[in-house]
Structure 1
Amino acid sequence: MTQTVSKWAWNDTGRPFPYVLMYHSVAVYRSDPYLVTVDPRRFDRQLAWLRRNGLRGVSMRELMQARRVGDARGLVGLTFDDGYADFVHNVQPALLRHGCTATVFVIAGRMGGHNVWDADGPRKRLMTADEVREVSGAGLEVGSHGMLHQQMSYLDDEELLSEVAESRESLREITGADIGGFCYPYGDVDLRVMNTVEAAGYDYACAIWRSPLSGRHALPRTYVGDRDGSLRLLAKRLRHELTIKR
């Protein structure tokens, strides 16, 4: 029997999905073939736009907790995939300036390495274990992006369990905090993968906007890039609001 999940409502509460933005890297750049980099000045203006419009970017942990008690009005999830080192140098100070928080999804088995999965892109350094510990200690949420940034649906059961469970335990040992969130590399999720993530004890998991599944463990997110100024941010916000009311 095929499991179906309501596309734009929580499968556990019936309420619309929260608005969650998906970032990757925030850095000055020359080449960005995968469109994963936002210039720090643009990022600062994007956060300012949120605040001007009565919105505040928060971690997924904070957003989920607020929704549980019915107090999430004006909150927007801010997520950063891959755990780039520029999160420490460029993202964290900007969040502090604008009174925001965020979640960074770290690749547990590649800390201190580089984005080797982006074959044609510029090399970007990933946070070290010490930097991950620093981010967590500053009150920002650290979530798991797996062990090695692999496409989850291609893995056998043993490999999948390693990506999901071992990465959580590794990050828990480094941060000394519970790791409640998972993010699917490439947005690759099917029912087996989603069930494995849920069974591993994660409170939630993040997917992408056009995910084949949705629910607490496959939350849709809105991509944000360097071209997203005020008008594009407004259009994406309106798209979310219109879509979840269908």
Structure 2
Amino acid sequence: MAAPDTTRRSSVPWVAMYHSVTEDRADDPYRVTITPERLDRQLAWLVRRGLRGVSMAELLAAPAPGGLVGLTFDDGYADFVTHALPVLRRHGCTATLFVLPGRLGGDNAWDPLGPRKPLLTADGIRQAAAEGVEIGSHGLTHLDLTRADDLTLKAETADSRSALAALLGTAPAGFCYPYGTIDRRAVDAVRDAGYTYACAIDPGPLTGPYAFPRVHVGQNDTSARLFLKYRLHPLRRRRVEAPR
């Protein structure tokens, strides 16, 4: 997959942030779980409005983001393959899946108050990639990069990219900051590791090709809430300047 051209981006596209997709929502203190039915309704809402959900690579490669919405899924939960992929296929959507090559086949141990959710194995990640999903790095083990020492920061950025390159045969273009926390040092480490773009949540003054803002989309986001989030997005986000 060719690396996206971020030099042409002059405004911030709308990018949705998802996590786990499963029927089991009994305990969800971090609001990371959405049911397949709700995801189906949300993607149907996009289609009705003439929008299409795509991967970050496709979004950033487009001459203009009009009509496209970025779909991103963080953490690499195993339920992405079993529950999210069928819904994406049904609506003709693609997506970017940010995974943790240092926790293959593990679980979300970084969420102490929530239920243990299994993560994709290497085979599961390869399956998602084979079905057209863009694979990006979410770091090696899901650490807050703003608190990492130099050696750990390199492992979470550069080493995670190398690990995914070995797993998939090609290095990922995208990175996603765990917890959405960033500072200039983390942004520089991601750029220096060879990524061509990165996703955050609300990066403020650091907004740019290495800190794209995203909006959380969850179980409570009905059509009305999605409409408000979509319409208010240009008012809440800074412009993205071309990299120098």
Superposed pair shares fold, TM > 0.5: yes
1:198 aligned to 177, 191, 197, which one?
A: 191
Aligned partners of 1:189 and 1:211 also within 8 Å? no
Unaligned runs of 5+ in 1: 1-10
1:54 corresponding residue in structure 2: 50
Aligned partners of 1:205 and 1:218 also within 8 Å? yes
Task: Give, in angstroms, the shift of residue 211 of structure 1.
Answer: 4.4
1:227 corresponding residue in structure 2: 220
Q: For 2:54 and 2:195, how far apart are their aligned partners in 1?
A: 19
1:19 aligned to 10, 14, 17, which one?
A: 14
2:73 corresponding residue in structure 1: 80
Q: Could you give the per-residue CA deviations for residues 138-168 of structure 1, whole angstroms, max 9, x where no partner exists?
A: 1110000011100001111111011001101
Task: Give, in angstroms, the shift of residue 72 of structure 1.
Answer: 2.9
2:92 is aligned with 1:102: no
Task: Give, in angstroms, the shift of residue 78 of structure 1.
Answer: 0.2
Structure 1 pair 39–132 and aligned structure 2 pair: CA distance change class (3 A): same
Q: Could you give the per-residue CA deviations for residues 34-70 of structure 1, whole angstroms, max 9, x where no partner exists?
A: 101011100100000010011100000111111xxx2
2:3 corresponding residue in structure 1: none
Q: Could you give the per-residue CA deviations for residues 11-41 of structure 1, whole angstroms, max 9, x where no partner exists?
A: 9557111110000111112110110101110
2:109 aligned to 116, 141, 152, which one?
A: 116
2:242 corresponding residue in structure 1: none
- Matched residue type, 1:23: Y
Q: For 1:160 and 1:196, how far apart are their aligned partners in 2?
A: 7
TM-score scaled by length of structure 1: 0.91
1:6 corresponding residue in structure 2: none
Task: Give, in angstroms, the shift of residue 175 of structure 1.
Answer: 1.3
Provide the secondary structure at the position in 2 that maps to 1:239.
Answer: helix
Q: Could you give the per-residue CA deviations for residues 160-184 of structure 1, whole angstroms, max 9, x where no partner exists?
A: 0110011011111111223000000
Equivalent pairs, count? 233
Q: For 2:9 and 2:135, how far apart are their aligned partners in 1?
A: 27
2:181 corresponding residue in structure 1: 188
Q: For 2:230 and 2:64, how far apart are their aligned partners in 1?
A: 19
Aligned partners of 1:27 and 1:90 also within 8 Å? yes
1:33 aligned to 17, 29, 36, which one?
A: 29
Q: For 1:32 and 1:211, how far apart are their aligned partners in 2?
A: 27
Provide the secondary structure at the position in 1 that maps to 2:206.
Answer: coil
Provide the secondary structure at the position in 1 that maps to 2:226.
Answer: helix
Q: For 2:230 and 2:29, how far apart are their aligned partners in 1?
A: 25
- Matched residue type, 1:77: G
Percent identity of equivalent pairs: 53
